[in-house]
Structure 1
């Protein structure tokens, strides 16, 4: 039930007196959860479609309900999780020995058969897993004995251990079922530090600490992941005391700077925002239009105003300051409108009486979508549209929900976000290889270039780091030259946390940064003094 403002204040004061908030604060939440002893409420911007790792839930180790064979430290280095130790990934065979005594939340023991089933289920085309392309290097998985699992690879796949963060599911619960309709998807059973309690779609997922967790029982006994798509709504609910922590765009988070009892974390990431162009559409299918728009974008202004300095200009899909970045693709953060206009004129895009360029009777005009409620993407779309207008290119904006966006990506441009610091094979293969053309949010622009396919395949299948670096340098150069996207900014992820906590360890983050970002190790947080 929604509390009145007076009731919120009174209850907050009472809880402070009693000292019963896990975080040292005492929010009174519309979820009806915050304020109970040991309860922590996260305000998150996006809700998952499924809680099943096989179908794509938190494959990079961000789930608190599941464990992978390995997990990551804050500096992105790998450490054992369900595996007893890190294996040596050599050649086409990788062997893991499982940690002893691990049990699923229902009390059944973890065995190698569960590990083998999990990966086999991802690879099974009948299961329609959104992450199947990430694991195509696997030829087979062998449960050699209850504690030993062997992965046989088709080729020496360099990032294989990075992929072993995938959450392991219980075979006996899922084997033989239609996974897309399995009750497990909304009532999961894992081995992680938190076990599932309930899911109210469109509202929240409630978890409780796993009292038998092999890594130690979490200090936060009850965790509520409350979903609010609109950035301003999350900021308002955080200010009202409904959330103990939330993720926010930089400008929305600035109101919490310096507030007593609040900490704002600005965390570096490989998460970019840019404009995805449909390459088969009449206007955005013209490379010169795309090149001109990229040249005309004032990235410097976007970073300074929209991100309030919490980010940096972006020019490609591999983040700067990573081993794999090719600096040859970097341009000036300030716009080069003169060069953009020159390109358009030379290609026959002439300015008309209405100020909009035309070529062969076709106006330089198209639609740019952004997800409604995402204030940051909306502001980037507005800025990009303003920069385009100076070039004589007319962009019409549409703020839509994701269901509507999904059906229009082959004909309308979109402010999109991707990016990962782990390995250049991550996401880039799916975003730019022709075999993924038009597969949902993978390669939605229908980019199909055989030379790029070959470079991505070489980077995936080579084990020599120097050879891989050459392949990915060439890949970045070609994607840049083709102006497949107009990359705009790399973000710093911004979080607001109420109260004092130990164990909060920021690190370089990927695009998926809800429970996979600063909150990834929430089970290790402890109330500070």
Structure 2
């Protein structure tokens, strides 16, 4: 029997670990797109903090949707409900949830003029699933047993097991086999010279400086009114704010405290987006101190999450008691917890960590001291790291805060703590599995803490494979409660994303956003639909 799939409207969520590439701050005064940014009516220049490592979906770019160069079979609307994109309609589901059939939209072409076919879809998924392809998100497609083209316009996915969230995985961008198939997916020019079906075409990429896109006049969804989009890579928050104020940028992603400085600017508008983006401290199990469960539990009790929201985020966020935000339907009620310094000290006393020199505890000659790294230039993470260190010291744990580039941080993640950011929209499986499953420990930026808990692994496997919603709810509740007992991360805050843009377009909206924001997410997630204000 075949049924029509309809999206669930009440389940969003989650957290997934993907780190953005570091970039150099721009101090030039001329608009990156050329000309006067505020005076243009058909172009926009946006300041963002970082750029992708690659623009190839085969290596993970755009996997959660919103790429301006590519489209998936499906896409998310403003409410994160699934809608058809390259597919004519939502998938037909058969075989008890083990087959998903998509029929492609007619007349879609890649930006080089070649037609989209089902073979391109099959090629995209098969290449990502190939272990030779360096895609660290491959586990997200674990359910796929086979993907095949049935003629030019039909694609059939056969799954190893029914996977409740599979349709949400098909927002993954589709690449042209006739271009990408002729190259090594890991090193080919497609990584920086992409060809897609999306509303925009990349025209220039100056690493660490800017990416420029022009409207695709042959876009199947209609030619965009905004003809040129430039993403200016400006790592430093203060520099982005300065360039926005000077008119060099049309808009920018900003920390809440800097966004507040534009409140009285009549020609600019602030946009806020709720998100699944959270900040957490990874506590590597291989660390001499962080590997001790008592240390991890004490840190969880000692941290003042509410103060971080109020003082660091200026109220634009909420305390994080786990990877899921408080208002998420999957959040386990009752795990909320206030700061408990007395409890933190008691945990350490019972575990044999005794107060020593300078108030720092020690056990068997080992001081309760470890290094916490955060990416250079990220003021919000820096402030979280310093507040965390201050809270930890009150319990007798020394946290030495250090800034570094991601190139320096990555090889040290096994033993040093990191002030990390995670979170993406979708089913809870999407972020929780890559964040916590022991099979992904040390797999790039997946499971950075190398967390290994059999109870959590079982809950993740059940949540991924079960079809019954009650069973899934029980699994994810068990997981969240286990994280309180055995934290591999100290969850700190969930962050609202804040943007400031020149107020001269209509049609701007925000979505519930993932950790990765600024480049694809933001009020410009639907820039192809913007219209100049009259």
Report what 1:231 is aligned to. Answer: 237
User: Which deviates further from its counterpart, 482-491 or 506-515?
Assistant: 506-515
Aligned length: 504
Equivalent pair of 1:409/1:444 in contact (CA under 8 Å) = yes
What are the equivalent positions in structure 2 for 1:11-410 lying under 5 Å apart?
A: 28-30=30-32, 32=34, 35=37, 38-90=42-94, 91-332=97-338, 335-410=339-414
Report what 2:429 is aligned to. Answer: 425
Deviation at 1:37, TM superposition (A): 5.6
Equivalent pair of 1:273/1:417 in contact (CA under 8 Å) = yes
What is the rounded CA distance, in whole Å, between the counterparts of 2:524 and 2:60 in structure 1?
A: 19
Cα RMSD between the aligned structures? Answer: 1.6
Deviation at 1:33, TM superposition (A): 5.5
C-alpha distance after superposition, 1:314-363 (max 9, x if no partner): 0101222122111232212xx21111111111111111132111111111
SS at match of 2:78: coil
Deviation at 1:81, TM superposition (A): 0.4
Equivalent pair of 1:437/1:445 in contact (CA under 8 Å) = yes
Q: 2:439 aligns with which of 435, 454, 458?
A: 435
Q: TM (normalized to structure 1)? A: 0.93
Deviation at 1:475, TM superposition (A): 1.1
Relative distance call for 1:352 and 1:56 in structure 2 (3 A) is same
SS at match of 2:514: coil
What is the rounded CA distance, in whole Å, between the counterparts of 1:159 and 1:88 in structure 2?
A: 14
Relative distance call for 1:110 and 1:250 in structure 2 (3 A) is same
Report what 2:473 is aligned to. Answer: 469
What is the rounded CA distance, in whole Å, between the counterparts of 2:362 and 2:407 in structure 1?
A: 32
SS at match of 1:327: coil
Equivalent pair of 1:312/1:489 in contact (CA under 8 Å) = yes
What is the rounded CA distance, in whole Å, between the counterparts of 2:403 and 2:241 in structure 1?
A: 20
C-alpha distance after superposition, 1:291-316 (max 9, x if no partner): 11111111111111100000000010
What is the rounded CA distance, in whole Å, between the counterparts of 1:184 and 1:349 in structure 2?
A: 54
Equivalent pair of 1:89/1:161 in contact (CA under 8 Å) = no
Deviation at 1:30, TM superposition (A): 4.8
Deviation at 1:69, TM superposition (A): 0.5
Equivalent pair of 2:320/2:492 in contact (CA under 8 Å) = yes
Deviation at 1:496, TM superposition (A): 0.7
What is the rounded CA distance, in whole Å, between the counterparts of 1:503 and 1:85 in structure 2?
A: 24
Deviation at 1:177, TM superposition (A): 2.4
Report what 1:526 is aligned to. Answer: 531
Deviation at 1:499, TM superposition (A): 2.1
Relative distance call for 1:174 and 1:33 in structure 2 (3 A) is farther
SS at match of 2:186: helix
Equivalent pair of 1:303/1:313 in contact (CA under 8 Å) = yes
Relative distance call for 1:176 and 1:221 in structure 2 (3 A) is closer
Q: TM (normalized to structure 2)? A: 0.92
Report what 1:15 is aligned to. Answer: none
Equivalent pair of 1:328/1:477 in contact (CA under 8 Å) = no
Deviation at 1:451, TM superposition (A): 2.5
SS at match of 2:461: helix
C-alpha distance after superposition, 1:181-235 (max 9, x if no partner): 1111100000000011111111111110000111111111011111112222211
Equivalent pair of 1:34/1:40 in contact (CA under 8 Å) = no
Equivalent pair of 1:142/1:150 in contact (CA under 8 Å) = yes
C-alpha distance after superposition, 1:148-171 (max 9, x if no partner): 010111111111111111110001
Structure 1's consecutive aligned runs of 4 or more residues displaced over 6 angstroms after TM superposition are none
Report what 1:456 is aligned to. Answer: 460
Relative distance call for 1:152 and 1:387 in structure 2 (3 A) is same
What is the rounded CA distance, in whole Å, between the counterparts of 2:357 and 2:195 in structure 1?
A: 64
Equivalent pair of 1:366/1:412 in contact (CA under 8 Å) = yes
Asked if 1:416 corresponds to 2:423, the answer is no
Relative distance call for 1:112 and 1:4 in structure 2 (3 A) is closer
Equivalent pair of 1:266/1:494 in contact (CA under 8 Å) = yes
Asked if 1:447 corresponds to 2:470, the answer is no
Deviation at 1:463, TM superposition (A): 1.1
Equivalent pair of 2:92/2:102 in contact (CA under 8 Å) = no
Relative distance call for 1:37 and 1:260 in structure 2 (3 A) is closer
Equivalent pair of 2:32/2:230 in contact (CA under 8 Å) = no
SS at match of 1:274: strand
Equivalent pair of 2:297/2:487 in contact (CA under 8 Å) = yes
Deviation at 1:495, TM superposition (A): 0.6
User: Which deviates further from its counterpart, 239-248 or 76-85?
Assistant: 239-248
Higher relative contact order by CA 8 Å / sep ≥ 6: 1 or 2?
A: 2
